[in-house]
Amino acid sequence: MSVSLNEAKDALDNIINKARVHLYKPIQVAEILYHHRVFDDLTLSNLNTYRKSSKKWRDIICKRFLGRITTSSSRYQDNLFDKNATPPEVLMVLGEDNKSKSGIVEAYIYRKFIERYSQMTSGLAYCMKSDIENFKLTEFIGQFQNNPGLKRSIDKIYEIVVYALFKVLIEELNVTVKVQLDFNKLDLLKEFEEFTQKVLSINSQNPSFTASAKFYRVGVTNAADRGLDMWANYGPAVQIKYLSLNESLAEGIVSNITADRIVIVCRDSEERTIVSLLNQIGWKSRIQSIITQSHLEAWYEKALRGSFRNILGARLIEILIEEIKYEFPSSESNDLVSFMEEREYTLLSDPFWSV
């Protein structure tokens, strides 16, 4: 099938627009084109010459700018080369124009990457210039919700919002968790004392222990993930769903999590749908609670401007800033500029490939 340059650019733009802030797949395309142009160590018409190796090239770049690599499944990563993405016939057209113009398509992709992270900086800046008097949760979420370039990452922002609140409240409440043996089972404990010590941190001399209650984020996830977002060391698993659900996604919330106490955080408009779907599939009993954005807004208001604002407020904003920097590290990095200069992308200009 013959592909025009306009069609090839549209295909590339499509995967850029669909990508979250990290732009893993577009970066992989850029590195394929870079190796084709500079090292001539692959044949764009032959997917087998770059399908696996291009993941390594992409990861080198991602580690440099993001401090991490994608955790998507191999199947999801390989979707990059599907007919509705950037298959070899599209890459061949992009590669030809890229090579004849000294890397202009590579420069275009990385300029898009910088543009996306520049937009992300606005959200970080909002937190950094805010204090307990003027921070508004709806305004902060709106920084991402109303920006087409950032909307694909709104669920990660939502996750950060939830985590920051949960973390500061659990810490300030000084909640503890106690693990204690049934004293009728001391004989069994002695038989498996090595196991109980290594796994439960208890033994016959110390048959119980107390620890601080904590919430943990699972980490950076992918667009295709439907699993766990946060978990607590005292039982509940937390699933955060900002985007709209259908029945299969609702099933994915529960079927991919083995915990029997699940907390779901969602928009107010999704609550009724979620309850209905979970009732239909018979899993309502596994849901400990559903928290909506209205709950979050009310709790943020109390934390920032309520009776305990001096204890909670500044710490809450501090955690928000820390988590944004962790999730999107290049939002404060100048290394991208030197990278663009190293590859001489700053010298390239073409109206067709303008950002």
Which tens digit of pLDDT belongs to each residue from 63-113?
988 888 988 888 899 999 999 999 999 999 999 999 999 999 999 999 999
pLDDT computed for residue 243 by the predictor: 54
Q: Is the pLDDT of residue 268 over 50?
A: yes
Q: Is the pLDDT of residue 21 over 90?
A: no
pLDDT computed for residue 225 by the predictor: 44
pLDDT computed for residue 1 by the predictor: 63
Q: Is the pLDDT of residue 124 over 90?
A: no
Task: Give the C-alpha separation, 150 to 156, whole Å.
Answer: 10
Q: Are 18 and 29 in contact (CB under 8 A)?
A: no
User: pTM, whole model, 2 decimals?
Assistant: 0.77
Helix axes 268-280, 247-255, angle to 10 degrees: 80
Joined tokens for residue 348: 């390239």
Q: Is the pLDDT of residue 308 over 90?
A: yes
At 314-350, the pLDDT tens digits run 999 999 999 988 887 764 556 788 899 999 999 999 9
Quickly name the fold that domain 132-175+214-330 has.
Answer: Trna Endonuclease; Chain: A, domain 1 (3.40.1350)
Classified as helix, coil or strand, 230 is strand
At 156-178, the pLDDT tens digits run 888 899 999 999 999 999 999 99
Task: Give the C-alpha separation, 315 to 216, whole Å.
Answer: 17
Task: Give the C-alpha separation, 292 to 298, whole Å.
Answer: 10
pLDDT computed for residue 259 by the predictor: 65
pLDDT computed for residue 333 by the predictor: 55
The chain-wide mean pLDDT, for the chain, equals 87
Q: What is the mean predicted confidence (pLDDT) over 240-257?
A: 60
C-alpha 192: how far from chain center:
40
Q: State the DSSP code for 81.
A: G
pLDDT computed for residue 257 by the predictor: 61
Alpha-carbon distances, residue 31 vs 103, 134, 299, 339, 355 (angstroms) = 10, 43, 45, 13, 19
Length of the chain: 355
At 180-223, the pLDDT tens digits run 989 899 899 999 999 999 988 899 899 998 989 998 887 644 44
The H or E element spanning position 231 is strand 230-232
Task: Give the C-alpha separation, 164 to 28, whole Å.
Answer: 32
Listed by start position, the domains of the chain span 5-118+333-353, 132-175+214-330, 176-212
Winning range, highest mean pLDDT, from 48-62, 129-143, 269-283: 48-62
Q: Are 98 and 37 in contact (CB under 8 A)?
A: yes
pLDDT computed for residue 262 by the predictor: 81
Joined tokens for residue 67: 């401090």
Residue carrying the six token digits 């009732």: 279
